[in-house]
């Protein structure tokens, strides 16, 4: 058993070996295929015609990933460390919805979480520099979270005021029936999404709408600049650390 465990560990955990690379690449293909099956199941025409086939394939991938998950636990040097690690949790989430779907309808849609397993491609293809850049972005996001949070709440207050003002300006027949719907209009307008299903009819309302749209373009630049500054600081810190080494 120990010999078998060691051999499986080299295949599952060691991506430098030929069997390990074949296993990892095959795993990525399986993940992509399983996500494609889930997506096709959500299309009614495919589901009605090939429902049984898609269901069978879904359970095939689920059983396959379950076996792989159990093997990873078995061959892991520290099993608890793997189970509670990021990839350990992702591997569990990749199979859990199928079993929950036996008891609850609609849970299978969460099988698209299997796409998170594609993050293993960074380790498989040795994209170390990409991993470092991803870590740099996460560091910048962490450093700017307070200022972005303040900015978010400021925008939230702003759309509440603007939405309430539009509710007062426009009449109920124009679609602004209540304050929540008016706030919804302010949000989609200030974010420049503008679905067009709700728009002001009065001259004053249109003036406020134009102001909100202009504010939207100005507001977009704020979080971008905050993040850009922190990203520059994080990159400078990383470069200085490398020079010291």
Sequence spans of domains, the chain: 2-125, 141-244
Residues 111, 97: Cα–Cα separation, whole Å: 6
108 confidence band (pLDDT: 50, 70, 90): low
Residue 108 corresponds to which tokens in the numbers above?
A: 């299978």
pTM of the model: 0.57
Q: Which of 242, 240, 223 is nearest to 140 (CA)?
A: 223
Give the mean pLDDT of 65-70: 91
pLDDT at 27: 84
Domain 2-125, CATH number (from 3.40.50.1000, 1.20.120.350, 3.50.50.60, 3.40.630.10): 1.20.120.350
pLDDT tens readout for residues 196-234: 677 788 888 888 888 888 888 777 777 778 777 777 777
pLDDT at 20: 79
Query: Are the C-beta atoms of residues 118 and 31 closer than 8 Å to each other?
Result: yes
Give the mean pLDDT of 145-151: 81
Do 2-125 and 141-244 show the same overall fold? no
CATH number at 141-244: 1.10.287.70
129 confidence band (pLDDT: 50, 70, 90): low
């Amino acid at each position: 058993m120990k010999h078998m465990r060691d051999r499986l560990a080299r295949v599952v955990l060691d991506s430098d070996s030929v069997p390990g690379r074949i296993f990892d690449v095959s795993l990525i293909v399986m993940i992509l295929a399983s996500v494609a099956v889930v997506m096709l199941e959500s299309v009614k025409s495919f589901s009605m015609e090939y429902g049984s086939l898609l269901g069978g394939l879904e359970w095939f991938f689920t059983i396959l990933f379950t076996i792989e998950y159990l093997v990873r636990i078995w061959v892991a040097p520290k099993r608890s460390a793997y189970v509670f690690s990021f990839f350990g949790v992702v591997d569990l989430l990749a199979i859990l919805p199928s079993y929950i779907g036996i008891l609850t309808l609609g849970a299978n849609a969460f099988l698209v979480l299997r796409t998170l397993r594609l993050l293993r491609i960074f380790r498989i293809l040795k994209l170390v520099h990409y991993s470092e850049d991803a870590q740099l972005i996460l560091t910048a996001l962490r450093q700017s979270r307070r200022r972005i949070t303040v900015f978010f709440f400021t925008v939230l207050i702003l759309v509440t005021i603007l939405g309430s003002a539009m509710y007062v300006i426009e009449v109920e027949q124009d679609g602004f029936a209540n304050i929540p719907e008016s706030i919804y209009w302010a949000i989609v307008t200030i974010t420049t999404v503008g679905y067009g299903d709700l728009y002001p009819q009065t001259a004053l309302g249109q003036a406020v709408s134009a102001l909100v749209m202009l504010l939207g373009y100005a507001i977009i630049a704020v979080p971008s600049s905050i993040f850009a500054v922190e990203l520059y600081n994080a990159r400078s810190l990383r470069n200085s650390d490398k020079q010291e080494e």
